[in-house]
Amino acid sequence: MVLFVMLYAFRTFFGLSKLFYGDSDINRDAFQTYLIGLKFYTTHNWPYFGPDQYDQTTGFHFQIAGALEGLMVGLPFWIWHIPEAPFLFLNLLSLSALALLAWYLSKKLQNLSMTFIFIWLSLMPWTLNQSTHVFNVSYLLSGSVIFFLGFFEAVPEFSIQWLSPAWAFALMGFGLFWDMQFHQSWILLAPFTAGAWVWRRKSKLNSKGELIGFVLGSILPFDCLLPTLIQYGFLKPTGGLTHAATLFNFDNFKIVITILARYFSLPSFEMPRFMGGSTVERWAFLLQIPFVIPTAFLLILVGWIQPFVLLWYPFSAGLIRVRRLSGYPWIKWERNHFVVRLYLLAVLGFLLVWVCFWFATTGPSAHMYYVLLPMVAAYSFAVWDKLALKPIVRSLAIVCVFASLWFQTGVACLQMSGDSLYQDRGRIVHAIHEKDYRLLGDRRSWVIY
């Protein structure tokens, strides 16, 4: 409990320090997310639509259907009438999800404790930067963790016998319809639902309660989507999906290595992404907090190495072997090994991401497959669990944890002095007190809600 409170305080502090008052439209996405919840609280109007989605090059725009974002941001104001309320609730939600994932993984691994897994997950750059700040992508982590815990329990090869098949599919249904209302990347979860069902059919397992469980698990988040479908029909809420699709995007097809590197960087110390868009910007960023530069270099180096280790480990450990048979390459793997199973699952996830981007109009930004982080993280911990037998790896892991804490503390202190919520907190207090969200700002002119 003490560890949870400490990490909760740190992650909330970090989230509050991040950019809030952006100086351009795209940098004001978090501000607009906050306004959706504040509008719901101050007007009591049902938030039929959530995240704003738009293409700056073509001008196309739409809102993702469903009330979950408005509810998740707005309801905390009823509990505590302070500007920080949505941040406090979001961080409770995301950290609880990480604790649940850490507990689950500790049941499957032999050498890593739940405490270590929990701390590592909480300080990873992706979970820290994408799940502590009030922004639509930040809410994906909770839904994805719930979804993949259900998936793991539905597939006997990954299960710890914690849940019945009905409950496992209920978690998948909940997670799927939860993420659906925060980001279009929810579609990446659908094949895993179908895959779990097919897997169980091939294994000739009892299917009693699977469909009912999935439907019952979907009811709560779907109830937040249903009013939008009733009020606006089906075509308007789904219009953005057709715009995001194309017949074939060759640019996304040919950068397979880039997507692969970003994919396996999700559970790694991918520091540069969150320090700036170029080397010049990142170096200027670090010069503002010179006391973290040594730890930054260490973590950047580790973050570069980690994806290669994750990609190559099953081959170097002899769990997957490539041989030539009659002049053709032949692959053999240890079918019953937990690491191999998770590796194959992670590779299938990567192939799914790559193929989906063949038909997407947008580039393959890593946040678009953030929904798969719990699965990739599960594989990464399975690898670190084996490598933890080496004393040098254990020592390096502990050093990285403290280095990350030191570095991210410096980053948070720097960000707090910038365009964070505290640049003009008084205006938010005034909007809450007067029950008028427009005292803080206006929603985008083209939005439905």
pLDDT band at 218 (very low <50, low <70, confident <90, very high): very high
DSSP state of 443: P
- Residue 134, CA distances (Å) to 97, 270, 323 in order: 16, 21, 50
- The predicted structure's pLDDT at residue 361: 77
pLDDT band at 129 (very low <50, low <70, confident <90, very high): very high
- The predicted structure's pLDDT at residue 330: 65
- The predicted structure's pLDDT at residue 56: 63
The C-alpha atoms of residue 54 and residue 238 are separated, in whole angstroms, by 14
Contacts 24+ apart (CB under 8 A), 225-231: 225/65, 225/66, 225/67, 225/68, 225/177, 225/180, 225/181, 227/46, 227/48, 227/67, 228/48, 228/49, 228/65, 228/66, 228/67, 229/65, 231/48
Q: Coil, strand, or helix at residue 31?
A: helix
- The predicted structure's pLDDT at residue 349: 94
Of 367, 423, 267, 265, nearest to 51 by C-alpha is: 367
The C-alpha atoms of residue 359 and residue 277 are separated, in whole angstroms, by 26
Tokens of 152: 């793991």
Say which amino acid occupies 143: G
Scanning 244-317, the segments in alpha helix (DSSP H) are 250-254, 256-265, 279-287, 293-316
Residues, the chain: 449
* Greater model confidence, 242 or 192: 192
- The predicted structure's pLDDT at residue 208: 77
Tens-digit pLDDT profile for residues 6-59: 999 999 999 999 999 988 777 788 999 999 999 999 999 999 999 988 766 666
Tokens of 84: 């920080």
SS3 content of the chain, % helix, strand, coil (to 5): 70, 5, 25
How far does Cα 259 stand from its chain's mean position?
16
The C-alpha atoms of residue 1 and residue 99 are separated, in whole angstroms, by 11
Helix and strand counts by DSSP (H, E) for the chain = 19, 4
pLDDT of 190 over the 60 cut: yes
Say which amino acid occupies 64: I
The C-alpha atoms of residue 204 and residue 400 are separated, in whole angstroms, by 45
DSSP state of 447: -
User: Is the CA virtual torsion 123, 371, 85, 413 positive or negative?
Assistant: positive
What is the model's pTM? 0.93
pLDDT over 70 percentage in the chain: 94
Residue 124: CB partners within 8 Å, gap ≥ 6? 267, 268, 269, 377, 404
* Greater model confidence, 234 or 263: 263
- The predicted structure's pLDDT at residue 239: 59
Average pLDDT of 108-117? 93
pLDDT of 240 over the 60 cut: no
pLDDT of 126 over the 90 cut: yes
> 122 has which bridge partners?
none
Contacts 24+ apart (CB under 8 A), 338-342: 338/108, 338/382, 339/313, 339/314, 339/379, 339/382, 339/383, 339/386, 340/314, 341/157, 341/158, 342/158, 342/378, 342/379, 342/382
Query: Are 314 and 340 spatial neighbours (Cβ–Cβ below 8 Å)?
Result: yes
Average pLDDT of 120-132? 95
Q: Coil, strand, or helix at residue 422?
A: helix
Say which amino acid occupies 197: W
